[in-house]
Structure 1
Amino acid sequence: MHSQHSAQDVLLCGFCKTAPVQSHCELCHINLCKACVGEHLSDSSKRHNVVPYTHRKSTLLYQNCPDHADKHCELYCDICDVPVCSSCVSDKHEGHKLSDVMKKLNSKTEDLQNDLEELETRIYPRYEKIISDVQTERAKLETGYGELTTAVAQQGEVWHTEITAIVNQRKSDIKDMKNKHLEDLTKHTDEITRNITELKKIIQDLKTILESNDVSLTATYTSRNDEFRKPPPKIQITLPSLFPQKIKKDHLNQLFGSALSITTEDGYIMQTPEAASSLPVELPFDEPQLTATIHTGFRSSVACRSDEEIWTCGSDKFMKLHNLQGKLLVSIQTKSRKQPGDIAVTRDGDLVYSDPKTRTVNVVKDKQIQTMLRLQGWTPHYVCSTSSNDLLVTMINDDKTQSKVVRYSDSTETQTIQFDDHGCPLYSSDVYKYISENRNLDICVADFMAKAVVVVNQSGKLRFRYTGHPSYTKKSFEPFGITTDSQSQILTADYYNGYIDILDQDGQFLRFIDNCDLRDPHGLCVDTRDNLFVAERWSGKVKKIQYR
């Protein structure tokens, strides 16, 4: 055997450091050779219990008392939460509740084991799953952006040389967006990786404490599990979409179309680059044309199920589905047999309606009504389904002094929009507030009592208020219905003046629709081709208007 290795294999006396060990003092926790036993026992200031080394017991390494050097801390003061020796009891801890340090050690050890189990079986695997999900999203992102770039290139080939400049610009926008998204994913990955590294260290430290039998390490341990039980929110990527329009030479840039966004769960929001989300648009103002009139009976809200079918509701208990020829296809009675507050159609084609009487929001699947939400202290009124299939609901409290907009994802409240940056209410306390989500993810509310269209961004921060065009010569601006189209234009029904106001996504007035003999326009919606449907409040008609 190598000399260095043989020296390491011999256990030496802890007193003289030279002779091999033969005995062990269980009270002093020291190994002794035969020659040093007598000298060790000669120290009468301490108690000793010397046994053959092979007969030694596995004993705890009691902490030395900081106030009494010759004592070990074999007790634990539950009042002061510190280990103490027998001398400390009559000194600083007289009358305190004491327990055996072994009992406290067992309790602490159990806590350590529970923490270790939770870290190894639940918390750490969850973080590993997040990393896996992020990598999956990264792969989807690479594929999706590749497909999008191909689509842009194909669109450019159709438009030949006149569109080349626009194609290059869009590719640059997509590249910038992709790099931004990858950067955000990388930051998210780095954060999770740092947490995993820290978790590994905590796990290793816990194992070291559990294996050491060192009372001081156990007594001073503080759990950090609370820091990691709830991991950072999962990132959900919404890939950009392209909305090509019919080619007109003078409006190629406007007709190319683009909508870019990225969102996450649990309120974590990643903004899109300004260059990608605010593309300049030059609008062709064609004269609006009335293309169809659908007789549906007394109606106040309208929602497109498809380009050929519309849902409507009014002051009775029925919600009706008509085709564009006015034929009644389906009639659904509300569960409460009372008037619905408002209707919307989800991305899956299901009808959603609010019921102020029962304070519920319901979904109709295969003609069967299922309750999605049931509120307390608040009454739901107007609803809309978002691009991410969330639900936005306007509501008012019981004493009719407050109103707010709440976002729900799978019946779970994920966002509340009620106040601006100065703590002032964004909305009036009136019931009438039609709502719509724009293509840039802004949330648009037609606040009738406030005589304003109130627009906030996806974070709930106020962007602007529109209070009507200065050229109004009739009654004041009082909006009811509201909707948005593929170009992020905002359309709102000016009920008393009989107009439809069209704004751009930044609140700039573009024009009126005032030539289609509209009477008391109320609910609005647009189909996938940007045809506008207007529900007239008292005539029982829904009018289809081609305005672009």
Structure 2
Amino acid sequence: MAESSEEQAAMQHYLVCGTEDCQQNGQFYCNACHQPLCEQCRNEHQKSPNTKNYEIVLYRHRKHQLPMEICQDHPKRNVDIFCRECKTPICSKCCTMKEHKGHEFDDLEDIYAEKYALWQGEFSKIQKYFLPTSQDMKTDIKEDATQIKKIMESIRTSMKAEAESLKNLVDEVISENIEHTHAMEKSLLEMLKSQETIYDDYIAYLWKMSDKFQEYLSITNQKLLFQSKTLKIQPVPETTKPVPPVFTAGQFNKDDVAKLLSRVNVPNTKPEKRKLQPMEAVTIHMKSTEKQLEQSKEKSDMKQTLSLSSSVTKVREYSVPGVGSACHVSVDKSGRLWVSDWRGNLVQTDLQGNQLQKIKTSTYEGYHTATQDGDLIYTDKDKKVIYRITPDKKITEFINTGDWRPLSVYSSRINGDILVGLNIPEYVRRRKTAIKEAKVIRYNKAGKEIQNTQRDNKGQELYSDPHYITENINGDICTSDYRKHAVVVVNKSGQHRFSYTGQGSEFDPWGICTDVLGHILVCDNVSKSVHLLDQDGGFLSVILSPQQGIQHPRGVCLDDENNLYVGQAGTNIVTVYKYLQ
């Protein structure tokens, strides 16, 4: 959808010129003055006798300013020179001392800028090649595991079917053999029945003969006895005993059965190495050596795959059922949305906005985050518990935070660590809460605490109400602290780097996220806008404002396609924008 000229003009403003009273777009940078310049001020800079020899570059080519460090030998001077022979940083007064006489020196700021860019390049390699490639390998392994499970299940099914077939054949043979025994039994019994009939007839004959002998032996019939011939008795019939069948046991064992069935063998094939996409094929275009850094700054910058677009484009929007306000938004690996509101409703929707599941909690800040494994982690500040939801919708207790209320949570895209913002109230009276302490804890993927950040190096409390939290590509932990009215940023070691307090007299930060270029995006409730900061906390622009239809931005996050999701108070609509190209 085409944007109005007013909207385009608003979105083209990314960096304000550092010259006093100049509000133009600061697209250039003076490495000597360390300030952004618009085109007109750059021209004046180059014409002025005092600044004409200063190095002016595009803002993205700027040198990072050397951090201030006091010289140990000269406490009133800063370290700004590098001694080649001693290979140590010194101040300008040190170079006049006898121990450095005749030595050659370099500008420490130049060395710092080169080293910073070099390590930033190496860090970018990790982010843009090594981590994504490793994740791809991990995904391949998971897919292989799924495929192996399918193959083995198929083999087991075939084995069971084959065994069932063998069992059926055994049953068929046994059935035939048993039927044969019935036939044999019938034949033998019929033979014995015939023999029994023979003896029945013979016994009847004997009884008949017995009667005749009795008649002859009678006294009254003696004459008959003398007159008659002697009676002869027929011999007892001869019969044969039946020969019973003999059962001969089958000669087989387990191995004989195994030979009848199929076998599963690992083929004698050398495993194929997983294919790694060469780094040269990935559009990282980073400098790998200091020499390349010095020779190809301009060339390397032109090859960057992503940069800020000249305008922000609305891509799509979702109407999320089951929530009153889109106060926080998370996007999981499948692209599904998790959205929560003031009332503790946590809803998951599919890509069409259909509700998939709904959970009731007691938190309403940035309290949920999608992990690299496809799970969702969310906090419940009243129960003081952090929960995990797996893709099959199983909810388990992950971490118990004791007396501390877990307000915000973020799953690291770098190593899977879990960052949690917590506080502990001193009292709650008339809907007002006094905060006793606040901190940020880093847990590993197993839920074990590995880092606890609460105070700066001066012992001052860093946090009060860290209600949204995220991590930048360099490992910085960025928290949006409502009561501090600031974005508080510490490095991965927990050392305070900077605090961003907005562009006006008031600043109420809410949702916060970072992108692949290291930008920090934060919602401001006062100006009703989304601020874009660089990695060091420098304000670059108001990326979204009421002119783009934004009224009450609360939650922000980015998906794997670098799309920006923005949720607002008072509406269940989540809007998606494209601001990188």
The two structures have a TM-score, normalised by structure 1, of: 0.49
**Higher relative contact order, structure no. (Cα contacts within 8 Å, ≥ 6 residues apart):** 2
The two structures have a TM-score, normalised by structure 2, of: 0.46
